[in-house]
Amino acid sequence: MNGFIEQLITDAVRELLTGRVNELLGDFEFDIPLIEFSNYSGIYSIVPVISLSSCERTEKERIIKHDAYSLTINFCFPETPESEIFCYAYASVITKVFEDNPTLIGIADRAIITGKKYNFPKKPNCGQEYELIINTRISIEGINHGS
């Protein structure tokens, strides 16, 4: 593997989102914005934020060189009649893609979704966005950060 493992992880997640996730979203009977990583987002595309927030190691994991990364995928949708269904569709499809590809295209030993959070506006037509937050845990063994 060339490059920093953190960059490889985020690149693999982006590849899955713009590849397999978009492919599955295209199979729905209604239009769902596709995922892009560019400066443009609108009614036809959405740009999620991918955040690698931590790397945890217990003493045992340090000895066997086992890292557990926490990565969050965050989607925000403007308030429309379809926003709630978009949140559920993305959550469902991303869960399926992680279950079908638990190694993140060969980068990780195991990648799982540990939680999904849905934040919806408290009042209709108040200008707040719909938000979907997907938390993941990515385990990688055998990485030696010191060499």
User: 145 pLDDT band (50/70/90 cuts)?
Assistant: very low
Q: Which of 56, 74, 75 has the alpha carbon at shortest distance from 66?
A: 56
**Average confidence (pLDDT) over 92-100:** 97
pLDDT in tens, 9-62: 999 999 999 999 999 999 998 899 999 998 776 678 899 999 998 887 766 566
Q: With 50 as the cut, is the pLDDT of residue 108 above it?
A: yes
CATH code, 5-141: 3.30.70.1700
| pTM more than 0.85 | yes
Q: Which of 13, 6, 1 has the alpha carbon at shortest distance from 94?
A: 13
DSSP per-residue letters across 79-125: S-TTHHHHHHHHHHHHHHHHHH-TTTTTT-SEEEEEEEEEE--SSTT
Determine the pLDDT at residue 115. Answer: 97
| Long-range pairs, 59-64, Cβ under 8 A, ≥24 | 64/141
- Quote the tokens at residue 43: 């009614």
Determine the pLDDT at residue 141. Answer: 84
* Domain range list for the chain: 5-141
Continuous segment of H or E residues that includes residue 63: helix 59-63
